[in-house]
Every structure is written in structure tokens, then in C-alpha cells.
Amino acid sequence: FKPAIVIVAAGRGERAGAPEEGPKQYRLIGGKPVITHTIAQFSRWSAPDVVVVIHPDDENLFGEALAKVPDAKNIRFVHGGATRQQSVLAGLSALEDTHPSHVLIHDAVRPFFDLALLDRIADALKAGAQAVLPAIAVADTLKKADTNQFVADTVSRTGLYAAQTPQAFAFEPIITAHRKAVEEGRTDFTDDAGIAEWAGMPVRLVEGLADNVKLTLKRDIAMADEKLSRNLV
Ligand code: C5P
């Protein structure tokens, strides 16, 4: 069992107020860039090989963020692409020569996962799963809207889950599936479990973590900062 990590951080983060304020993965929460927290958390977990996928414009920001990771080891970066899917494939390709058995693919903008989540994922992989997805059962009642912002229907939430990252895979099958998606012109996947499903890999669910939110909006950054500041007191 030799897992490696791909952290995708090449997005521009327009929904969080960029470009004026810079991409959200480099905003400060608790005094450090979001991505510093994310990388540090993986570094605490059995020192895996880590590839961070960044935007070519962000090399300085990334260098500063990496310098703040205590004990940063085995971490390199490559440049990403125009979509998350392209960025993930760039990260996977960079890992190919090190022959990992498995890979965990994670959004840089989710700094609040814990080591117990990584262990749950690793246990599922060791038990033979080809693809593992941390997810949370949907708690809210779901409504489908019509085009005039009126409710058209109530959707049953039974069996519905919200997908998180890190999503984990056997390395060879997932890089093959990613390349096949490109060959067949499928460039619309928003997560890697989606590509695994499309390629026919069974995707095993494990319990996600309520705290493991994706920092998407400006408000999410402010709330994350407040949460970390509170924890520091
Ligand atoms: O845009 P979205 O919220 O789906 O981004 C999820 C993650 O994917 C973020 O960490 C973002 O930096 C990354 N991403 C990327 N390359 C892109 C777009 C998004 O690495 N072209």
C-alpha cells in the first residue's frame, strides 16, 4: 500500500470574490493561507508523496504558502489546466513515474478534514476498494425549482449523499479512466468519482465529515477564519 496525494489548487476562485482578492486557496484563515492548512494536514499523515497542482501565475503565492508548512517533505508542484478535470490529470501524470499503488485526490479549498477520515479511506482501499468516496447523507429537504423560482417539486432525499474529497482510487485504473475521458471528449466531470463511475469502477462510500466543507464563497473564508481564531484561544 503506497498512496500518493494530488491536491488541486489551480482554480481562479471567481465565486469567492477573485480576481481582486486573489484565489481562495491562498486567502488567510487563522493567519495562514488555506492551502498551507491543507498540505500540513496531509504531511501529518505518514509522509506520502504529494503533488500540488497550481496555476502558472501562482508560483510565488504557492512558494510562500509552502514555506509555512511545518516539516514539508516530499511535496512538489505542477501546472494545472483550464478545468478541474485537466488539473487532476496533470497531477496524476506527474505521479506516474513513482508508481503509487493508490492516489487520494483532494481540493485545496477543503482544509478541514481530519486524519481519521484519511484512515477510513485507507482502510477501504486496503480492503480492496478500487474507488472510495467520502460523503454525507443529505440532511436538508430538497426542492426542485421551476424557471420562475417557484417550487416545482419536492425531491426525496432518501439515498442521496453530498460528495466530498479526498476521493481515493487504485492508481492505474483512475489515470487510465481520466485519459479515456479526454480521448472520448468527456470534459465535463466535476469530480473524479464521476469519472470512475463512467469507466465502470465500483465506487465505495465511506462516512465523510461535516466540517470538511469546500470554501467556495467569500463568506466561507470569513467563517473558516473565525472558526480557527476561536480554536486558537
Ligand atoms: O471550482 P471548484 O470549486 O470545483 O474547484 C475545486 C478545486 O479544484 C479547487 O481547489 C480549485 O483550485 C481546483 N481547480 C483546479 N483547476 C481548475 C479549476 C479548479 O485545480 N482549472
- Domains of the chain plus CATH, in order, are 3-232 (3.90.550.10)
Q: Is the CB of 224 under 6 A from ligand 1?
A: no
Over residues 152-185, the pLDDT tens digits come to 999 999 999 999 999 999 999 999 999 999 999 9
* 10 has pLDDT over 70: yes
Cβ atoms of residues 77 and 51 within 8 Å: yes
* 82 has pLDDT over 70: yes
* 18 has pLDDT over 60: no
Over residues 124-139, the pLDDT tens digits come to 999 999 999 999 999 9
What is the pTM (predicted TM-score) of this model?
Answer: 0.95
- Which atom of ligand 1 has the smallest separation from the CA of 24? 12
Q: Is the CB of 195 under 6 A from ligand 1?
A: no
Q: Is the CB of 83 under 6 A from ligand 1?
A: yes
HEC readout, 113-133: CCHHHHHHHHHHHHCCCCEEE
Written as nine digits, the cell of 186 is 468527456
